[in-house]
Structures are given as structure tokens and as C-alpha cells.
Structure 1
Amino acid sequence: MTRPLSCVLVANRGEIARRVVVTARAMGLRTVAVYSDADAAAPFVADADVAVRLPGSTPADTYLRADLVVAAALRSGADCVHPGYGFLSENADFARAVEAAGLVFVGPDPGAVEAMGSKLAAKELMARAGVPVLPSVDATGLSGDTLEKAASEVGYPLLVKASFGGGGRGMRTVREPSELGEAVEGAAREAASAFGDGTVFLERLVERPRHVEVQVFGDRSGTTVALFERECSIQRRHQKVVEEAPSPAVGPDLRARLHEAAVAAARAIGYVGAGTVEFLLEESGDFWFLEMNTRLQVEHPVTEAVTGLDLVRLQFDVAAGRPLPAEAVSPTLSGAAIEVRLYAEDPARGWLPQSGRLAEFAIPADTAFRPPPGPGIRVDSGVVAGGEVGVHYDPMLAKVIAWAPDRASAALALAGALARARLHGLTTNRDLLVRVLRHPAFLAGETDTAFLDRHGLDVLAAPLVDDAGRRRHAVVAALAGAALRRAAAPVLAGLPSGWRNNPTAPQTTAFDAGTVRYRLDRSGVTADVDGEPVPLTVLGTEVTGPGRVRLDVEAEGLRSAYKVHVDGDRHHVDGPEGATTLVERPRFPEPTAAVAPGSLTATMPGAVTRVAVAEGDEVRAGQLVLVLEAMKMEHPVVAPTDGVVTSLHATVGAQVETGAVLAVVSEQVPHPETEENSRAS
């Protein structure tokens, strides 16, 4: 029995909300968004026909409030709710609340969500269905000898994993018994914060597997199909970074076995709608059930690209009671697609999340949110230039997807689009993604979950622009700043700033990356960075807009165009080698308060979730001092050196801002007599 749908509330935010709205609107549905106070100006809010405010900023106060979301759906006249992914998408109680309100849940039945909501229960169910599973044991509430005994049964190395949720949160690798207690406590704490449930379990760790998953779909007529596999092996902190379809490691025979296992898993719970069955694939060809995600996946665009199917449209069709169409029942695989997750984070600094304003956000693309009709680049983003990346949510800026007839062509096209993107204002993982996509091992299909560790962040996270290029970018940035100043001059604006008819002292611009000295005269430009000559010829300079300059430059016989965006004291340079951001130092810096030596400062706004030391404690270099939670992840703060905690400013539950002093670790232990004499004097 079919039930026509006319209006959908999207119970999510960001790029997935925008993605759902695009297909819903194409199907003639009215669209409703819900938004937190932090998201009031976000693009997805403007995309929807109607938007309902959820008071507050944190997920717990807004997107995780099932009662508020259902009330918003009823108030706005929606007849169905699409949960997207994350938040309440795999919450059986939410699915039941939606149905109890007389609305259609665009997803599986609550019983199926519940069956797969606990990874522990899911593994037991899969074992009964004949799907291969790894040995594991529930670690909730265990400690001391009992915990160590459970770990020895599983065997080292092992993983501590949250039973509910995913995305790498609530997960720790343990190689030695001494690491076990802290790993279980940290995983449980993070899981409770992210998912509202601190249940964790121990599972045998498979070293260097491939992460391969199968897209499944079921309808209410009893049809269950597999829409080929995706490989998501390249990960950081157990979170996917690069995804592709099909997997370079999967041939016809292995694909048939994976499909059989995935369909068996879905049928074991009477699955309806879009779902993903994830496996760990060993080099031998053996694979093990990892988990089933009872929702649409972040990486669903690569499946759309190689099948030509709109998975969100299929979700709406199935939710309305319609059977899967013939093209989904008998899908075809065409070409290769690769997706990367572009994050506001710094891979070279422990994947430190970034927050703040995006001064520029432009990625060359052929389409957005919908499967491309042919070779090209697709961008699904939840941000726009001028927008803010806050601290309450995941720092993913966009998913960038390439389709091509073959895998290597897709990888190189995607790398080229990323390299040409203009991403100003926040540090991103763009350069790492480009290096991964161009890496010989990646192009050869030699991918597994240890890829980043094996090839090293010292190589993969290095800037695309080398030292010589950075010096050239610094000179270009200085000349662009001069051009902007001269363009604003009331007289002789056409003359380059600093131009002299006769030899004179050079102009100077100091950046965080070095000091540029340059002279413009009849012979051209003479420039150096910290005394290192930078030979170049400026062929043309054009101010293209407020704070924007284009310079045509010839260096070492090569002519190139550079685009510079000056935003306050930041000079963003985009050139053929890559991009560089330089911060101009003030000529007369204001005095600032000194930070005591040994101070541990917050690198981002966040909440203190644990304090592991007290004032007066002796600590060793690398020892945990406290834990900050920001952007849905825990970030340990450790002692930089052996010493004593002489000052502690952080308390559990406290909110801290970037730069706040959390603690001070002094290298020298203060002698009591010395302190007494100091006070007496």
C-alpha cells in the first residue's frame, strides 16, 4: 500500500540536510529544516521552504531532542521525517516517536534500527545469520582483574569500541595491558557524551585490513538488493577520509560473497530502506562483519556515481510504499568514483579541529548534491564563503566527489579540483588529500586502514608548496598588498606602491613566514625573503575586487598567474604550486601579557571533561594532564616535559576559549626554603 508524501522535515543539518532538500524538492515535496541557534545563518536553513528553530546550540539541546523535532514536524505540516545521518538517525525511540505522531519515518522500521543499534547485539545476530564476526566481549562496568581477564580472552592487540554510535568516537586501540584501563574509561566517557550511552566492548584488532562496505536496499515487497561495494580504508582516528566505489581489491568472486553476506545481514532483520553493511577485509580474502549502519551513509555519493541511482529518491519511494525500480533491482556498475571529506582541521598538529570564519570557499565543480551525468566533479557542502565553522559540530566542510571511466582518472581529476580550490580563513586537510590521491601507492590500489601511518604525516601532511614556492608566495603577497594600497591612493594610483625612479632603500613587509624586502624601479622587481633572493618578473598586476589582486609572474622561465586575497592581516595566495596563507605582522606590535613558561593553553574552544592531575603533582613528559572535548571528539592535553604542576586553572565541566591557560608545568621542582625566602623578601 502506497502513501503519497507531500512535505518532509529533515531532522539534520549541514550538507546532508541540503542534499535531502535537493532531491525532495525535485520530487515535488515541501521541505522543512530545523536549526539550532548556532546554525541560524547556515545555508541549509535558507535552502528549505520552512525552518523551525530549536532553542540552544549544543546537539543535546537541539538536534538530539526527539520531542522538539517531532513537535516541529507536526507544527510545520510535515507528513514524513528524513533523519539524514548522525544525531537521531539510528535511534529506534525517535523512529517510534515519529510513527506514533502519525508521520512516516524515511528509514528502516524501529525494530531493525534497534537490532543494529548495539554493535554487541548486532554481532550476535549476525553470527546466527551465518555472517563472519570477530571475537568480542562486553567491557561495560569491568575493571581491574576482571577487565584484564576479558581482554586476555579477546587477545592483544584489541580495540575498545562504543556499542552505540560510530564515526570513530568512543574507540581506542590497546596494544599493552597497561593501556587498557585508561582506554576503556576514555572510550566510555566519549561514547556517553556523543551518543548518550557509555556501553563499550573489546574486539580483536585486525592489523592493516581494508574497510569495505556494501550498500543494501530493501522494500516492503520483500526485495533486498546489494548496490555494490565501497572501500573506505583511508581513515584518521577511525574516521573515514577517502571513500571509493568500487574497491580496487574486490573482484567478481569476492564481490559475490560480500553481496551474499550483506543481503543475509539485511534479511535477518527484515530490513527496509537504505543501509550499509560494513566489513573488515583481510589480504587473504577473508572478511568480518564490523557493523550495520541503518541509515544513509556520508559516502553514498560514490555509489550514486557508479550506479546512476539517486539513493535519497529511493529512500522516499520505499518510505511511500513503492517497490524498488528495475534499475535498482538489477543495478549496473559503471566507471569509478572517489570521495574525500574536506575538513577544517590541521593534520600536522594531531588533526586539530579548526573553528572560525571562512573568508573564501570555492571548489571547481560540475554539479552539487546530485549524481553527475558523466565525468566530472560533484561538491556537497554545508558551508559558504563568509560563514562560520563553530565548535559544536563536526568540522567537515564538504564532500568532494569525482567520477571517471577508470579509478586513476577519477583520483587525478579529484586531486586537481582540490588543488585549484580557494579555501581561505581556516586550516584544512586539503593538501593531505591531494597528496594521498596522487600517491603512487594509492594509485596502485594499495590501500588499507594503516595507509596514513605507513606513509607518514610528515610526508602526506606537508604543504604542497615547497620552501622556494613559499618564498615566491611571500613576495607575491607583499606586492599584492602594495598594489591594494596604491589603488586606494588619491593621486597617481597607477604607479606601483614603492616604485622609485632612482635606486633607494627597499620596501619591507614582515610576515609570520619571513620578512620580504623588495624594490620596484626601472629594471623591475628585486626581492628577497630573510636575505634569500627571489628572482621573478611581474608581467601584470590587476586589482580584481576589494582585497583581491591578480599578478602574472614569470619565475625561472615559467609564467604563472597568482591570485591573492587580503583579508585583514591574512594574505591568501593561490598559485599553480598550491596555496599559502601568510599573516602580516604589525609594524608596531602592541604589548601583550606574557604567558608563563610551561603553560598549557587551549588550542580551541571546548569543555574540560577530565582533570588527571592536581597542583603539586610531579609529571613526566607526555603524561595526561587533562582532556578537552570539542567538535565531538576528545583531545588529550599532555605535559610537555618532566616537571611539577605548579598551577591548575581547569575544572571538569568548565568551558574554555582558545588561548586560555589550563595548567602550568614547571621543569624545576621549587624548594620549600626557596619559596619561604622569596615570600619573606
Structure 2
Amino acid sequence: MRKINKILVANRGEIALRVMRTAKEMGIKTVAVYSEADRNALHVRFADEAVCVGGPKSNESYLRGDVIIQVCKDLGVDAIHPGYGFLSENAGFAKAVQEAGLIFIGPSPEAIDLMGSKLAAKAAVAKYNIPMVPGTESAITDVEEAKQIAQQVGFPILIKASAGGGGKGMRVVEDVASFEEQMKLAVSEATSAFGDGSVFIEKYIGSPRHIEIQVLGDTHGNIVHLFERECSIQRRHQKVIEEAPSSVLTPALREEMGRNAVNVAKACDYVGAGTVEFLLDENMNFYFLEMNTRLQVEHPVTEQITGLDLVKEQILIAEGNPLSFKQEDLEIYGHALELRVYAEDPANNFLPDIGKLETYKRPQGLGVRVDDGFEQGMEIPIYYDPMIAKLVTFGKDRQEAIDKMLRAIEEYQITGIETTLPFGSYVLQHEAFVSGNFDTKFIERHFSPDVLQRTPDEGADEIAVALAAMLMNKQKPATSEATALSETASSWRRNRTR
């Protein structure tokens, strides 16, 4: 047992604030690190102490592990929480933290290294008979050999980077004629993105659902799962909307997937919070995809349905405490949704839309949670991920959570940039989502940019109401007219007509 009195959060934005808030509740002092671009960021102001670690680019600041560790030594820090992204899944950094006599709030370097390789992870979990997608068990470099294996597996197949993530180094191949070219592209992209050109082949599952299971493990050998999250609404293989629980899992399937997730964690002696990801096909067969050895962006939906603070659990585990609950103690309460509010233009292929938050007002009310790191007047930096906030709603059932999310989206006021708020509104009202009959191909099948384009006569009723209000109050100051129009149109529509 080792008491943590001061934590350095090796991250930025909403996740840095998220970790610091829990630390404050636990009576733990916090240290922020920041880049020159984040000098005025909220996490910098919130922390008890803050240190600039370099220039605006990630490799000049947030990825400088040696500088971050030195800050810990200088300020008497006990532990480092890496958040997600940046150094969170860097086994070398985790090892350096431990060698410096500090606590790394996360799994062991060995677990990070093992699960960081998709091929090594598959080999490690094989003894537990975890269901896996048919394909190769080792890296393939010879094109002709790979082509023969692909024909045996059967097209379409998927070429994947062993060290990959986020869709990089991944190619879907429909037939043998295009295989050689696609394999070379996958190897090249994997080498460029990860410094590792290793690829492997899997049978391509065309319309899967993306289901992940949250796990927690302590240093005493106890491992539990905290049920599932549905993460099938994605763009560019990255999630946009998540929910818990999934609308399609039966209690029996949930139990089976949870048990397999725990076994995956056992295969690498996992400690801390982690996520085991599965693909679920149209016949409700599931297959192990990978394990993320960190806290996930979408962890709030699990917190909502379990009542647990996952960051608090991470800290308690890092101190050496055993889990205070067993698997049979855990139950699902209600339903939660999360929309990632990105500074992106959904009507323009979700391209980043960097700029200034001219208006920024968060939604409020029962069952609404906003995890963010911005305020009105701030700039969205060009150097980092364009996520502004995580908008989370909770209800007694799925429909209530959807209703609250639609209200929250309407109430969320952001101008100066385009965001994914209108996309979220579109998805949550679409019949496929409402019915639960959707998969990772939702955008491909149901979304096109023109559904968000405002036509000339769209909103005519709103304008008519605003004009009538203006005429009724023509004796009032001009500011009343502006207010009448402002309050009539929804925030994101005003944004689109700026």
C-alpha cells in the first residue's frame, strides 16, 4: 500500500480536468503540464500547480516523457495519470515512470506492450478459447504467401497493421486482383504511422456492431467487468456516439462476453481500468478485436449505469487497494448516451473546423453531463484532436436517455465553428438508431451531407414567428428584436447561417 498525495496529469483538455476533479474530491493535490498553445487552458487554471513543458506540437510537449518525469521529481509528485492518447499506451514511458520511483496509474508496461500488438494479444488470449475472427496468427510479409492465405480465408478480407489503431494501416480487399496493391499500401501506412510494418489478415466482417467491455483489475488478482458499451456509430473507424448498455445484447450474451473480457484481462495480468473490444456479427456471434490498456473516451456512460467513478477506482487500485466489490455486486441502472462534440463539419466529410468559440453555452438539467475543457472566447488549437466536449445523458431507459440528449443538443449553444451536434441530432432521430437496428456502416448507409444543409425555405415558420414578435414589440429597443430572433432558432442552425 502506498498513499498518493500528489498526481501529475500527463494530458490536456477535458480528460485532464476529469482526472483532477476526482483527485480533488479524494484530497489529492494535482499538477498540470501544458504546451505553449494551452497556456490559458482550463486544466492549467484548475490544477494546484502547472508547468509548461514545451512548444505547441505534441512531440514538443505532451509526448516528452523525460521532461514530464523531471517535473514530477521537482515538485514531489507521487503518481502520474496519463489520461488517454499521448503517452497513455506507451510501455516505455510506463516503465520509465516506475524506474523513477513513481506510480503509473495504469497497467504494467508488460501488459501495455503485450496488448499493444494485435498479433501478440491474439496469441496471449488463445489459451482461454476467446472467439477470434478467422485469419493469420502471425505477421505476413511475403505477398504471394499472403495472397494464398487470403484465398483460403475467403474474400473479402481485411489487412490490418499489428501495431495499428484508428483505422491506420487497414485495408479491405474485395478480390485477389487488388490484393497485392492493397497489401503494399497497408504495410507502407503502418510503417509511417507506427514505425512497424507488420500486418496480418482477417476475414472481413461486413456489417458488425462494435461492442466493448469495461474491465477493472487490482493488484490482488481480482478482475471484474462493468458491462458493455455500444460504439457502432463511427466515422473513419473512430467513434462518435456511444451508449450503455447495448440495445441488442441479451443477459446471457452479456454474461458470456463479460466472462471472455475478464479472461482477456487475465491473459496479461491486467491491473487498472481497461477495455476489451469485440465485433458482433448479424448472427450475434462475437469475436475478440483488441484490448485498450487505458481509460476510454467513452468511460462516462459506464459510470452513469454503474454509479462508479472509474478514475477514483484507478487511483485506489494504483495505491494497492483491493476492489471493494465483486462481480455479483454490480448491476446496470438505467441507460446512458455519449455524443463526442467535435470541431468538425459533418456536412463536409467531418473535416476539422478550427476557430474561435464565439458562443459557448453548455446544456444543463437533470440527467445531463458535459465533460469539456473549453469556455467561450477560447480558440480550438490546430495541434490536437478536435474534440471539444463529451455530452452525456442518462435516463431510466434508452428512450428517456435519447430524449434528454436531443434536448441537450438543442440547448448546447456553439457558434464560430461547425460541430458534430447536428449530426448527433440526426442520428438520434433516425429510425435505424431508435429501433436499435444499426451497425458500424450507419454513416455509409444512412447519412449524407445534404441532410444537414439548410434549404432556403427551411425554418420559414421560425422566422415568421420571430418577425411577428418583432412587430408586436416594435416600441421596444432594437436589442429585443435580436433576442427574439436568437431565441427562436436553435443554436446549431444559427451557427450554420453565420
TM-score, structure 2 as length reference = 0.92
Give the 3 Å change call, closer, same or farther, for CA 537–365 of structure 1 in structure 2: closer
Residue correspondence of structure 1 range 130-149 to structure 2 within 5 A: 130-137=129-136, 142=141, 145-149=144-148
- Which residue number in structure 2 is paired with residue 271 of structure 1? 270
- Partners of 1:223 and 1:316 in 2: how far apart? 16
- Which residue number in structure 1 is paired with residue 249 of structure 2? 250
CA RMSD, 1 decimal: 2.8
Is 1:421 aligned with 2:420? Answer: no
- Which residue number in structure 2 is paired with residue 19 of structure 1? 18
Render the CA deviation track for 1:477-520: whole Å, top value 9, x for unaligned.
xx9xxxxxxxxxxxxxxxxxxxxxxxxxxxxxxxxxxxxxxxxx
- Partners of 2:319 and 2:327 in 1: how far apart? 16
Letter of the structure 1 residue corresponding to residue 452 of structure 2: A
- Which residue number in structure 2 is paired with residue 581 of structure 1? 496
Q: CA deviation at 1:581?
A: 3.3
Give the 3 Å change call, closer, same or farther, for CA 301–72 of structure 1 in structure 2: same
Give the 3 Å change call, closer, same or farther, for CA 328–402 of structure 1 in structure 2: farther
Residue 344 of structure 1 contacts residue 428 of structure 1 at CA under 8 Å; is this kept in 2? yes
- Which residue number in structure 1 is paired with residue 295 of structure 2? 296
Is 1:110 aligned with 2:25? Answer: no
Identity of aligned residues (%): 45
Q: CA deviation at 1:194?
A: 4.7
Which structure features the higher share of strand residues? 1
Residue 33 of structure 1 contacts residue 52 of structure 1 at CA under 8 Å; is this kept in 2? yes
Letter of the structure 2 residue corresponding to residue 380 of structure 1: D
Q: CA deviation at 1:447?
A: 2.1
Render the CA deviation track for 1:431-469: whole Å, top value 9, x for unaligned.
11101011122111112111121213246x524x55323
Is 1:468 aligned with 2:467? Answer: no
- Partners of 1:158 and 1:19 in 2: how far apart? 40
Residue 341 of structure 1 contacts residue 400 of structure 1 at CA under 8 Å; is this kept in 2? yes
Give the 3 Å change call, closer, same or farther, for CA 347–276 of structure 1 in structure 2: same
Moved more, 67-76 or 425-434: 67-76
Structure 2 segments unaligned to the other structure (5+ residues):
none
- Which residue number in structure 2 is paired with residue 437 of structure 1? 428
- Which residue number in structure 2 is paired with residue 617 of structure 1? none
Render the CA deviation track for 1:398-441: whole Å, top value 9, x for unaligned.
11010000101101210121122111011112111101011122
Give the 3 Å change call, closer, same or farther, for CA 72–462 of structure 1 in structure 2: same
Among candidates 553, 562, 570, match of residue 486 of structure 2? 562
- Which residue number in structure 1 is paired with residue 355 of structure 2? 356
Q: CA deviation at 1:77?
A: 1.7
- Partners of 1:30 and 1:195 in 2: how far apart? 35
- Which residue number in structure 1 is paired with residue 472 of structure 2? 539
- Which residue number in structure 2 is paired with residue 400 of structure 1? 391
Q: CA deviation at 1:475?
A: 9.2
Residue 7 of structure 2 contacts residue 78 of structure 2 at CA under 8 Å; is this kept in 1? yes
Give the 3 Å change call, closer, same or farther, for CA 187–29 of structure 1 in structure 2: farther
Letter of the structure 2 residue corresponding to residue 562 of structure 1: S
- Which residue number in structure 2 is paired with residue 237 of structure 1? 236
Render the CA deviation track for 1:578-603: whole Å, top value 9, x for unaligned.
434335xxxxxxxxxxxxxxxxxxxx
Q: CA deviation at 1:183?
A: 4.3
Q: CA deviation at 1:179?
A: 4.8
Give the 3 Å change call, closer, same or farther, for CA 537–384 of structure 1 in structure 2: closer
- Which residue number in structure 2 is paired with residue 411 of structure 1? 402
Structure 1 segments unaligned to the other structure (5+ residues):
367-374, 480-524, 526-534, 553-560, 564-572, 584-681
Letter of the structure 2 residue corresponding to residue 241 of structure 1: V
Residue 474 of structure 1 contacts residue 582 of structure 1 at CA under 8 Å; is this kept in 2? no
Residue 539 of structure 1 contacts residue 551 of structure 1 at CA under 8 Å; is this kept in 2? no
CA radius of gyration, larger in = 1
Among candidates 436, 440, 443, match of residue 452 of structure 1? 443
Residue 224 of structure 2 contacts residue 326 of structure 2 at CA under 8 Å; is this kept in 1? no
Give the 3 Å change call, closer, same or farther, for CA 148–30 of structure 1 in structure 2: same
- Which residue number in structure 2 is paired with residue 305 of structure 1? 304
Local SS of the residue matching 1:468: coil
Letter of the structure 2 residue corresponding to residue 383 of structure 1: F
Moved more, 340-349 or 159-168: 159-168
- Partners of 2:226 and 2:437 in 1: how far apart? 23
- Partners of 1:62 and 1:396 in 2: how far apart? 19
- Partners of 1:265 and 1:543 in 2: how far apart? 66
Q: CA deviation at 1:258?
A: 0.5
- Which residue number in structure 2 is paired with residue 389 of structure 1? 380
Local SS of the residue matching 1:172: strand
TM-score, structure 1 as length reference = 0.68
Give the 3 Å change call, closer, same or farther, for CA 59–140 of structure 1 in structure 2: farther
Task: State the structure with bigger RCO (CA 8 A, min sep 6), 1 or 2.
Answer: 2
Local SS of the residue matching 1:164: coil
Render the CA deviation track for 1:633-670: whole Å, top value 9, x for unaligned.
xxxxxxxxxxxxxxxxxxxxxxxxxxxxxxxxxxxxxx
- Which residue number in structure 2 is paired with residue 78 of structure 1? 77
Residue 6 of structure 2 contacts residue 30 of structure 2 at CA under 8 Å; is this kept in 1? yes
Moved more, 299-308 or 32-41: 32-41
Give the 3 Å change call, closer, same or farther, for CA 183–549 of structure 1 in structure 2: farther
Which structure features the higher share of helix residues? 2
- Partners of 1:35 and 1:162 in 2: how far apart? 32
Letter of the structure 1 residue corresponding to residue 110 of structure 2: G
Q: CA deviation at 1:20?
A: 0.5
